[in-house]
Amino acid sequence: MSTATSEVAAPYAQALLSIAQSSNQVDELSAIASDLLNLLKASGDLSDLLASPITNSDVKKGVLNTVLGDDANRSMKNFLMLLVDRGRIYLLAPILQEFQVKVRALKQTVLAEVTSAIPLSDEQTETVCQKVQGITQATSVEIVAQVDPDLIGGVIIQIGSQVLDASIRGQLRRIGLQLGVS
C-alpha cells in the first residue's frame, strides 16, 4: 500500500474502528471486513467495478447491497454507503486492511503468515501459535496459512517485517551460501 493510499485509508479505518467500539461490534465488523477482503481478492470484477470512476454511485450501492444482503450489519452497510458517497469506495481493500491492523492492535493480537510445504495439522498450528506468542509476547495470534510445495519441508513464519525461515529450502540456500554456491 502506497503512503498516499495509507494516509487516506487510515482515517476511514479509524472511523470504522470507532463505530465498532461504540456499538460494541468489534468482533462482528472485523469478521465482516475479513469476508469482504476475501471477496475482493476472489472477485476481480467486483474490485474493478468499485474502483471504476465511470460506474455510477447508485450502481455501486446496488451491487454492495446485493453482495451484503438484506440482513447485513447496519453499521457496515452505512459505512460502505458513506465511502461510495465520498468517492472513496475504491479504497475499500486498504481501508479494511488498515481496520484489521487496528483491531489486532486493540486486541493485542499478532498476525503470523505461515508458509509450509504441506497443510499444517491443528496440533502443528497450535505449536506455531505458542512459539509466535513466546516471541512477540502477544495475547493471541492470528494465523494465515499458505502452502508452498517448493519449501520441501519445514515452515516460514512472517510476523510483520520479521521472517523466520525454518524451511529445508532455506537451510539448503544457507548451506549453498556458506559453500559459495549461488
Question: pLDDT of 39-96, one tens digit each?
Answer: 999 988 999 999 999 999 999 999 999 999 888 999 999 999 999 999 999 999 999 9
Taking CB atoms within 8 Å and a gap of at least 24, the contacts of 135-140 are 135/159, 135/164, 136/110, 138/108, 138/109, 138/110, 139/107, 139/108, 139/109, 140/107, 140/108, 140/109, 140/110
- The DSSP 8-state label assigned to residue 113 in this structure reads E
- Report pTM: 0.79
d(CA 128, CA 179): 31
> Which of 94, 172, 111 is CA-nearest to residue 145?
111
Of 91, 99, 97, 1, nearest in space to 50 by CA: 91
Q: How far apart are CA 64 and CA 77, in angstroms?
A: 8
Amino acid letter for position 151: L
Under the banding of pLDDT at 50, 70 and 90, the label for residue 5 is confident
**Amino acid identity, position 156:** I
Q: Which candidate, 88, 81, 77, 75, places its Cα nearest to that of 9?
A: 88
Which residues contact residue 12 at a Cβ distance below 8 angstroms, ignoring those fewer than 6 apart?
Answer: 83, 88, 91, 95, 98
In whole angstroms, what is the distance from residue 8 CA to residue 88 CA?
A: 9
Place of cell 479494511: 96
Q: Report how far Cα 147 is from the mean position of its chain's Cα atoms.
A: 17
* pLDDT, tens digit, 9 for 90 and up, residues 130-167: 999 998 888 999 999 999 998 888 899 999 889 999 88
